[in-house]
Amino acid sequence: VTGGSSAVPGQWPWQVSIVYDGTHVCGGSLVSKKWVLSAAHCFPREHHKDMYEVRLGAHQLDSFVPKAEARSVAQVLVHISYQQEGSQGDIALLQLSNPVTFSRYIRPICLPAANASFPNGLQCTVTGWGHVAPSVSLQAPRPLQQLEVPLISRETCNCLYNIDAKPSEPHSIQQDMVCAGYVKGGKDACQGDSGGPLSCPVGGLWYLAGIVSWGDACGAPNRPGVYTLTSSYASWIHYHVAELEPRVVPQTQESQPDIHLCRSHLALSSAPARGLLG
């Protein structure tokens, strides 16, 4: 996480660390005693599930404390539609080898139902042990980092990603994605946060609105973080884990248009007479 701060132990008790061959590679979110949600791109086909371990209840990655638990992975379910970075379906379900015991430091986050809608501008929080800047690792003892990020609509996010877009690197924000972050940059998720939670508060509960998926560098201007929209996969999750009940998210706040955040939109609309091309 770039531009964030250290969390307090137990503040995000659903955050897990996914370790491959002894090294932290991704984040994840605990959604029940035996299941964790993460990103599909954290589980390349050639990696065997026995090489993964899930650490729960951790705060500093470099200091293992009694309240933290570790589990091996019994099953990895990667969504069939995931192909490569930026494609749809960047979501994975992990079954733990044994259930965990909930505690002050290990608790599940709520899964939003399929029809859930979180308003533009809602202040959510992204957490993780990832880089603090492109290719700059979090320093030992690596405390969990947190960052409040406002949600940005898909339309506005597409508009932002078209500013100074490189033809060789087309980016499009798909139906199953949501953006969050800052137009001016400097505060964002980064490598190593992938798979971790975008936690959004509604009605006194935290919901897993998104899963850290991709972005252009970290904290670059006009390049907010892009997250897999968890509610798009409520039925896929329920199909594989029948006991997991997605929750209806109460509609508390109207979603306000946020297209004004995208400078290039203003340029286009302010000069139609000169026939500016899109």
Kindly state whether residue 13 participates in binding another protein, applying the rule CB under 8 A. yes
Round to whole Å and give the CA distance between 21 and 186.
31
- From the list 32, 127, 153, 230, which residue makes contact with another protein (rule: CB under 8 A)? 32
Partners of 70 in the β-ladder = 55
String of contacts with another protein for each residue 239-268, x by CB under 8 A: ----xxx-x---------------------
The CB-of-41 to another protein minimum distance in angstroms stands at 25
Q: Tokens 């290039």 correspond to what residue?
A: 264
> In this structure, which amino acid lies at residue 246?
P
Q: Which of residues 111-140 bind another protein (CB under 8 A)?
A: 111
Minimum CB distance to another protein, residue 89 (Å): 24
Q: How far is the CB of 6 from another protein (least distance, A)?
A: 13
Write down the least CB distance from residue 179 to another protein, Å.
22
The stretch among 157-165, 182-190, 201-209, 260-268 that binds another protein (CB under 8 A) is 201-209
Among 18, 42, 73, 110, binds another protein (CB under 8 A): 110
List the catalytic residue out of 59, 90, 213, 231.
Answer: 90
Q: Does 171 bind another protein (CB under 8 A)?
A: no
Under the binding rule (CB under 8 A), the answer on residue 31 touching another protein is yes
Quick check: is 41 catalytic?
yes
Residue 130 in contact with residue 42, Cβ under 8 Å?
no
Per CB under 8 A, contacts with another protein among 204-243 are: 205-207, 243
Of 93, 108, 21, 6, nearest in space to 56 by CA: 108
Q: Which is nearer to another protein, 51 or 205 (CB)?
A: 205
Which amino acid is residue 276, in one-letter code?
Answer: L
Location of structure tokens 């499009």: 172
Quick check: 106 and 58 in contact, CB under 8 A? no
Q: Pick the catalytic residue from 194, 199, 231, 232.
A: 194
Q: 160 near 154, Cβ under 8 Å?
A: no
Residue number, 82 or 233, with CB nearest to another protein = 233
107 lines the binding site for another protein (CB under 8 A):
yes
Closest CA relative to residue 208, chosen from 83, 100, 113: 113
Please answer whether residues 37 and 28 qualify as being in contact, where contact means their C-beta atoms are separated by less than 8 angstroms: yes
Count other Cβ atoms within 10 Å, centred on residue 233.
Answer: 23
Dihedral of alpha carbons 15, 17, 18, 24, sign:
positive
State which residue, 151 or 261, has the beta carbon closest to another protein. 151
Q: Any bridge partners for residue 8, and if so which?
A: none
Closest approach of Cβ 33 to another protein, in Å? 5
Q: Is 58 in the site for another protein (CB under 8 A)?
A: no
Residue 266 · residue 260 · CB < 8 Å: yes
Q: Which helix H or strand E contains 199, and what residues bound it?
A: strand 197-202
* Residues designated catalytic: 41, 90, 194
Which chain residues interact with another protein by CB under 8 A? 8-13, 31-33, 102, 104, 107-111, 205-207, 243-245, 247
